C-alpha cells in the first residue's frame, strides 16, 4: 500500500515537472550568452505583466501551453522585460528594463523581438496575434535557418484576426 502511494506520488511529480513553465530570464546579456553557447534564438517579451490584457492573453494562450513550453526548452532562450504597475520590481531593474525597451523600440505591449544567437534582430511583432500555437512554432522554426534570418523582413507575421496592441 505504501509502495503504491509512493509510486503514485512520483508519477504525479513527473507529470507536474513536465508541465512546468518554460524558463524565462530577466537578464538580457545572460540570456544572450546562453543562446550563443546553446545555438538558440532569443525571444524577448516586452510586457506589462500585471496590467496589460493582451500580454496576459498571450501568456495564457501561447507561453503557458505545453506545446510552446516543450518547443522553447529545445529552441529558444526566453527573456521577459517587464514594466509592471503593481508587481514589485526594484528601481534598478525597472531602469534596466526601460533602457532595453528603448534600445529595441518596444513602444507598446506586448512587443516580441527575436534575436539570432549572435544578437542580431531577426523578427518583431508589436501587439497581439491570435494564432494557434502550432503556427507560432512554425514561424519560430523558420527563423532558425540562417538564410531565412538574413532575408526575413522584420515585423512580419501572418495577419490574424484579433491582432491588437496596447
pLDDT in tens, the chain (166 residues): 444 443 444 444 444 444 577 899 999 999 999 999 999 999 999 999 999 999 999 999 999 999 999 999 999 999 999 999 999 999 999 999 999 999 999 999 999 999 998 899 999 999 999 999 999 999 998 887 755 444 334 444 543 333 444 4
Question: How far apart, in whole angstroms, are the C-alpha atoms of residue 17 and residue 6?
Answer: 16
Q: What share of the chain is helix, strand, coil (3-state, %, to 5)?
A: 50, 15, 35
User: What's residue 117's pLDDT?
Assistant: 87
Beta bridge partners of 79: 25, 44
pLDDT at 146: 59
* Nearest Cα residue to 93 out of 127, 53, 60, 49: 49
Among 34, 49, 54, 58, which residue's Cα sits nearest to residue 115?
34
Which cell numbers hold the place of 114?
527575436
| Domains of the chain and any CATH numbers | 23-151 (3.40.30.10)
pLDDT, position 153 = 41
Amino acid at each position: 500500500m505504501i509502495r503504491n502511494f509512493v509510486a503514485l506520488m512520483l508519477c504525479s511529480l513527473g507529470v507536474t515537472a513536465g508541465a512546468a513553465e518554460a524558463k524565462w530570464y530577466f537578464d538580457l546579456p545572460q540570456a544572450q550568452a546562453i543562446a550563443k553557447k546553446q545555438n538558440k534564438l532569443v525571444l524577448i517579451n516586452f510586457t506589462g505583466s500585471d496590467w496589460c490584457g493582451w500580454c496576459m492573453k498571450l501568456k495564457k494562450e501561447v507561453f503557458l501551453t505545453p506545446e510552446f513550453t516543450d518547443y522553447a526548452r529545445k529552441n529558444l532562450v526566453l527573456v521577459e522585460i517587464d514594466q509592471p504597475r503593481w508587481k514589485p520590481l526594484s528601481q534598478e531593474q525597472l531602469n534596466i528594463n526601460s533602457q532595453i525597451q528603448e534600445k529595441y523600440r518596444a513602444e507598446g505591449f506586448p512587443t516580441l523581438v527575436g534575436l539570432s544567437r549572435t544578437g542580431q534582430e531577426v523578427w518583431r511583432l508589436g501587439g497581439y496575434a491570435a494564432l494557434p500555437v502550432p503556427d507560432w512554432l512554425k514561424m519560430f522554426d523558420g527563423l532558425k535557418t540562417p538564410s531565412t534570418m538574413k532575408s526575413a523582413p522584420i515585423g512580419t507575421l501572418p495577419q490574424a484576426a484579433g491582432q491588437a496592441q496596447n
